[in-house]
């Protein structure tokens, strides 16, 4: 039984809530001239920079399940996935705005829990939460985040910039968030069948955390800048490697070859995929929600990233006529398709 305090939203009203959020979210950046409290936020972007703006929406029942998602993690994730889009443009994030659709199921304390996670993410990424909108909802929680960032125009990296014979790189490892989701869904079913059962999540901590609390790879963006590597094209891995690679190839009008044995996978992801009788390759190609970065670099930059612990070269780009292909471990050359890996068994 929880004895936590519960303040109904109706007790303090929308304005009361906004006042509390305002006190909780003081602006930190000198680029924030007006934060929550006026009709619009007023933010400065550095001179000679362009603005990057991106928005993403998370809906209860579609993007998250509150039966196993801690509200604080949800708040963190809502910010992180938006910052990931700014990172994927090689941008520097500066501000976010948050739209909330709330049902009266949510207490003020629950909403504050979401904002605690958001604040943590804002502090981690060095950005300010400068406003938003609040509305009621009759069907679950909705969170819409708009992220704003900037960069010099010639430092912005597009999906369309890859050149023939560039190296294709990916950060971190793939498929973990998807396998984390499978574990959470399984434990939910176990719990529904027998509420006395304790969820078995301890041995799956890494992949579960990858699902519940992903990070935007701003660390890699800063790193690449420091070592003097400007990617030729870039995208973040939200829908799975296959889909993102196809996006880059389509926008850059190129083909590609990638190699299964180069694809980075954590042993826990691999073992859990086997446990669920899923093909680890399918999981990496189509899993989604990893929020790693997929990017291309000129071959001349290879030496600079060769020993980078968080970057793996997985293949190279080719003329468009060659198509987008993967060399499997069995030495088969298979075309990459966005859904083609589903139910593919080795
Ligand atoms: P308006 O009627 O002008 O849209 P609101 O009452 O919606 O004003 O918002 C007042 C202030 O509170 C604005 O600065 C707005 O950005 C901020 N705000 C409203 N809802 C949220 C929210 N969920 N999170 C953060 N800031 C919010
Ligand atoms: Mg409003």
pLDDT digits (tens, 9 = 90+) for 186-242: 999 988 888 887 777 889 999 999 999 999 999 999 999 999 999 999 999 999 999
Tell me 315's DSSP state. Answer: E
> Does position 339 have pLDDT exceeding 90, yes or no?
no
The pLDDT assigned to 24 comes to 94
- State residue 5's pLDDT score: 83
Whether the CB of 135 sits within 6 Å of ligand 1: no
Tell the residue nearest (CA) to atom 18 of ligand 1.
132
What is the average pLDDT score of the chain?
94
Q: Give the residue, by CA position, lying nearest to ligand 1 atom 5.
A: 133
Tell me, using a 6 A CB cutoff, whether residue 126 lines ligand 1: no
Is the minimum distance from the CB of 160 to ligand 1 under 6 angstroms? Answer: no
Whose CA is closest to atom 10 on ligand 1?
37
Helix (H, G, I), strand (E, B) or coil at 196: coil
Q: Which ligand is nearest to the CA of 96?
A: 1
The answer to whether 25 and 119 have CB atoms below 8 angstroms apart is yes
Structure tokens at 184: 């959470």
* CB 196 near ligand 1, within 6 Å: no
Ligand 2 centroid – CA 39 distance (Å): 8
User: pLDDT grade, residue 313 (50/70/90)?
Assistant: very high
Q: Is 265 left (phi over 0), alpha (psi -120 to 50) or beta?
A: beta
Ligand nearest to the CA of 100: 1
| pLDDT value at residue 196 | 80
141 lines ligand 1 (CB under 6 A): no
At 268, give phi and psi (nearest 5°).
-65, -40
Ligand 1 contacts CB of residue 143 (under 6 A): no
pLDDT range class, residue 311, cuts 50, 70, 90: very high
E-strand ranges in the chain read 32-34, 42-43, 50-59, 92-102, 128-136, 142-151, 167-171, 233-236, 254-259, 293-297, 311-319, 324-327, 333-335
What is the Å distance from ligand 1's center to 15 Cα?
9
Instruction: Determine whether the shortest distance from the Cβ of 261 to ligand 1 is under 6 A.
Output: no
* Residue 154 beta carbon below 6 angstroms from any ligand 1 atom: no
Cβ 207 vs Cβ 299: under 8 Å? no
Residue with CA nearest ligand 1 atom 11: 37
* Residue 131 Cβ contacting ligand 1 at under 6 Å: yes
In 3D space, the residue among 3, 41, 48, 7 whose CA is nearest the CA of residue 22 turns out to be 41
Q: Which atom of ligand 1 is nearest to the CA of 25?
A: 25
Starting from the CA of residue 39, give the closest ligand.
1
**pLDDT tens across 285-310, in order?**
999 999 999 999 999 999 999 999 99
Q: What is the pTM of this model?
A: 0.94
Query: Is the minimum distance from the CB of 36 to ligand 1 under 6 angstroms?
Result: yes
């Amino acid at each position: 039984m929880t004895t936590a305090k519960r303040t109904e939203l109706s007790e303090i009203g929308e304005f009361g809530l906004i006042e509390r959020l305002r006190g909780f979210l003081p602006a930190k950046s000198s680029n924030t001239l007006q934060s929550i409290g006026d009709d619009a936020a007023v933010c400065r972007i550095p001179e000679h920079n362009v603005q990057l703006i991106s928005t993403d929406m998370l809906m209860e029942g579609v993007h998250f399940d509150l039966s196993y998602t801690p509200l604080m993690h949800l708040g963190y994730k809502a910010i992180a996935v938006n910052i990931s889009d700014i990172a994927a443009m090689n941008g520097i994030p500066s501000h976010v705005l948050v739209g909330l659709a709330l049902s009266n199921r949510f207490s003020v304390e629950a909403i504050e829990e979401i904002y605690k996670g958001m604040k943590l993410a804002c502090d981690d990424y060095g950005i300010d939460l400068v406003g938003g909108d609040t509305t009621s909802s009759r069907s679950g929680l909705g969170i819409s985040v708009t992220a704003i960032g900037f960069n010099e125009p010639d430092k912005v990296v597009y999906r369309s910039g890859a050149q023939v014979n560039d190296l294709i790189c990916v950060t971190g490892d793939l498929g973990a968030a998807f396998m984390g989701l499978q574990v959470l869904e399984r434990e939910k079913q176990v719990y529904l069948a027998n509420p006395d059962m304790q969820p078995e999540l301890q041995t799956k901590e890494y992949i579960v955390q990858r699902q519940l609390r992903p990070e935007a790879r701003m660390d890699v963006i800063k790193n690449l800048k420091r070592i003097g590597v400007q990617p030729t094209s870039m995208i973040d891995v939200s829908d799975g490697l296959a889909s993102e690679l196809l996006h880059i190839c389509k926008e850059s009008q190129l083909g590609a070859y990638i190699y299964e044995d180069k694809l980075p996978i954590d042993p826990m992801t691999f073992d859990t995929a086997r446990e669920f009788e899923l093909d680890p390759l399918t999981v990496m190609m189509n899993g989604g929600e990893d929020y790693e970065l997929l990017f291309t670099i000129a071959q001349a930059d290879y030496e600079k990233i060769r020993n980078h612990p968080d970057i793996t070269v997985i293949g190279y780009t080719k003329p468009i006529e060659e198509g987008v292909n993967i060399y499997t471990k069995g030495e088969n050359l298979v075309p990459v398709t966005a859904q083609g890996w589903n139910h593919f068994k080795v």
